[in-house]
């Protein structure tokens, strides 16, 4: 089989439209000419293209950063192509070294299987899982065996593997690199061979691994896949990439009220970045909205639209509208409909200890800082005394705009 894509079919307006949809918000599409040829061939023959995205179930919950790629998969799915969410139940046991300064801890089979079950449910909040081809890479990786793994490893050199930025940095810094880490990009690339992928998506940090898929497909006599890299989404802080370890995430299973309020908390500058990567609105509509804001419209209006769209995607329109009303009520000094009930003992209890034990702050120092800033209220009254001791009884404690607890304190 030829290792290149033959441009035998005409490039129609539908192909150009599909190219524009593919490139919206992306970082790189490589090689673009090959993807255009694949789109043209698909339209001419009626064969859907096979579009792969691998996801290692290393944690039980997904966040909005993950959905940057899911949104692109959904757009391509709506064009009629076959999207393949690939659960890396085999590669998770190796651990992706991308961007790592240390060897990633291995997960147990039980952890991987439990996380994988939640991933499918959560992916279904964005993709039409019923028409997708959900696969697990243990299907072909387990049967490969030691002989097959040695044969696969023979198709790539150590010198080329060491061209990887993270491996090169660790080697230069005398930071240990385990031999099994070299297997990860090889196995990810082999996934593309097994699936005969036409396109593979990933974050910008995955470029080396995606190119490995192209190389191995050529080694196995297949037409090489194209690769599409998507930017890494900045989290709530607007600086670091969205990551649970950074505490700057919005989980896609978080309550609607929390999700809505968190989106409204982002900066006006970050809002437009999120529009590009998370919104499914037409680009022309986003451009008009941005022009209106530049012309004097309140940026909060645009942020409200984004918060409603994102919340409705994961919770439905009715829940998004209820979240909007709840936010307005709280902004006006009202209370949310649902407040967590917390029972504590030890009255009278110092206010900092109460806040920490109620789960409203992570530390006593955070509690003191928030009190100094006027960010703590008890039954609507601002707490200004850091030495306050709260007596027995029940009260509503508020921290900031979004954290509430109905605390019942006993002696």
Q: What confidence score (pLDDT) does residue 278 get?
A: 95
What's the rounded mean pLDDT across residues 125-142? 94
Residues 267-278 have a mean pLDDT of 93
Q: How confident is the model at residue 117 (pLDDT cuts 50, 70, 90)?
A: confident
Record: fold of 13-230: Rossmann fold (3.40.50)
pLDDT score recorded for residue 102: 57
pLDDT tops 90 at residue 386: no
The mean pLDDT value for 127-148 works out to: 94
Q: Cα–Cα distance between 6 and 103 in angstroms, integer?
A: 41
Residue 224 to residue 406: CA distance in whole angstroms: 59
Per-residue model confidence (pLDDT) at position 5? 63
| pLDDT in the model for residue 101 | 54
- pLDDT over threshold 50, residue 247: yes
Which pLDDT tens digit goes with each residue over 87-116? 998 988 787 766 555 555 667 788 888 888
- Which has more confidence, 333 or 59? 59
**pLDDT for the residue numbered 147:** 95
Please state whether the peptide bond connecting residue 89 to the residue before it is cis, i.e. omega within 30 degrees of 0.
Answer: no
Tell whether the model's pLDDT for residue 291 goes beyond 80: yes
Q: What is the pTM of this model?
A: 0.75
For residue 66, is it left (φ>0), alpha (ψ between -120 and 50) or beta? Answer: alpha
- CA-wise closest residue to 202 among 211, 396, 6: 211
Is CATH 1.10.240 what the domain over 254-331 is classified as, yes or no? yes
- Determine the pLDDT at residue 27: 95
CATH number of the domain located at residue range(s) 341-410 in this protein: 3.10.290.10
Q: Which has more pLDDT, 404 or 309?
A: 309
Q: What is the pLDDT of residues 3-41, one digit of tens each?
A: 456 567 889 999 999 999 999 999 999 999 999 999 999
Give the count of beta carbons closer than 10 Å to the beta carbon of residue 96. Answer: 20
pLDDT tens profile 339-385: 888 889 988 899 999 999 999 998 988 899 888 777 888 876 678 77
Q: Given a cut of 60, is residue 328 above it in pLDDT?
A: yes
**Taking the domains of the chain in order of start, what are their residue ranges?**
13-230, 254-331, 341-410
Kindly tell me if the per-residue pLDDT of 2 is higher than 90. Answer: no
pLDDT value for 97:
66
Cα within 13 Å of Cα(366), Cβ side: 11
Structure confidence at residue 1 as a pLDDT band (50, 70, 90): very low
């Amino acid at each position: 089989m030829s290792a290149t894509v033959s441009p035998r079919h005409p490039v129609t307006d539908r192909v150009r439209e599909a190219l524009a949809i593919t490139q919206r918000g992306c970082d790189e599409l490589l090689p673009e000419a090959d993807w255009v040829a694949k789109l043209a061939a698909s339209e001419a023959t009626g064969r859907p293209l096979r579009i792969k995205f691998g996801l290692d179930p290393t944690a039980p919950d997904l966040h909005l950063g993950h959905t940057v790629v899911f949104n692109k998969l959904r757009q391509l799915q709506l064009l009629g192509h076959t999207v393949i969410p690939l659960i890396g139940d085999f590669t998770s046991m190796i651990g992706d070294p991308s961007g790592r300064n240390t060897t990633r801890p291995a997960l147990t089979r039980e952890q991987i299987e439990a996380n994988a079950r939640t991933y499918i449910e959560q992916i279904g909040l964005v993709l039409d899982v019923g028409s997708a081809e959900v696969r697990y890479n243990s299907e072909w990786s387990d049967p490969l065996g030691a002989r097959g793994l040695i044969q696969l490893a023979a198709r790539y050199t150590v010198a080329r593997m060491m061209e990887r930025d993270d491996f090169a940095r660790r080697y230069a810094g005398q930071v240990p690199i385990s031999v099994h880490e070299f297997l990860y990009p090889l196995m990810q690339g082999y996934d593309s061979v097994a699936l005969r992928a036409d396109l593979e998506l990933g974050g910008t940090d995955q470029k080396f691994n995606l190119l490995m898929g192209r190389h191995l497909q050529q080694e196995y006599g297949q037409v090489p896949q194209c690769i599409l890299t998507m930017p890494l989404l900045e989290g709530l802080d607007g600086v670091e990439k969205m990551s649970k370890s950074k505490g700057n995430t919005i989980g896609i299973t978080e309550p609607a009220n929390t999700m809505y309020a968190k989106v409204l908390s982002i900066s006006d500058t970050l809002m437009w970045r999120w529009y590009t990567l998370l919104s499914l609105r037409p680009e022309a509509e986003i451009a008009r909205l941005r022009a209106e804001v530049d012309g004097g419209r309140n940026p909060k209006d645009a942020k409200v639209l984004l918060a409603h769209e994102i919340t409705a995607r994961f919770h439905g329109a009715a829940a998004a509208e209820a979240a909007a009303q709840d936010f307005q009520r709280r902004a006006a000094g009202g209370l949310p409909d649902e407040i967590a009930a917390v029972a504590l003992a030890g009255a009278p209890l110092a206010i900092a200890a109460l806040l920490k034990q109620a789960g409203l702050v992570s530390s006593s120092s955070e509690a003191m800082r928030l009190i100094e800033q006027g960010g703590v209220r008890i039954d609507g009254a601002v707490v200004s005394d850091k030495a306050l001791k709260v007596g027995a009884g029940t009260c509503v404690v508020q921290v900031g705009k979004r954290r509430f607890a109905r605390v019942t304190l006993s002696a």
